[in-house]
Amino acid sequence: MIGRRLTELLLARGHNVRHLARSGDHSVVDTYLWNVGEKKFDRDALKDTDAIIHLAGENIGAKRWTQKRKREILESRVQSTRMLGDALVT
């Protein structure tokens, strides 16, 4: 929801926008596949990139917040951020 609206606003202001997604979606922008669990993604998504807005992670409203679930939510964000960071340095 946030990503869709943010994409609209950025495009309206003339920015080039790309998405990373687990599966090919029906986005109006170029979408590159990534799989955080397998630590794989199409690094072409980062070519000539000036900024990254990272909104990905486990759905916080999908299940009850047990200790295990809280760990999953946190780890999903840490792992995906680490993966992007590592790609930027290499």
Q: Alpha-carbon distance 19 to 5, whole Å?
A: 13
Euclidean distance between the first and final Cα of the chain, in Å?
31
Q: Where do the domains of the chain lie?
A: 2-89
pTM given for the model: 0.78
Q: What H or E segment, with its residue span, contains residue 41?
A: strand 40-41
Confidence at 25, pLDDT banded by 50, 70, 90: low
CA 60 to chain centre: 15
Q: 35-45, pLDDT tens digit by residue?
A: 888 888 888 99
CB-count burial class (<10 Å; 0-12, 13-18, 19+) for 60 = exposed
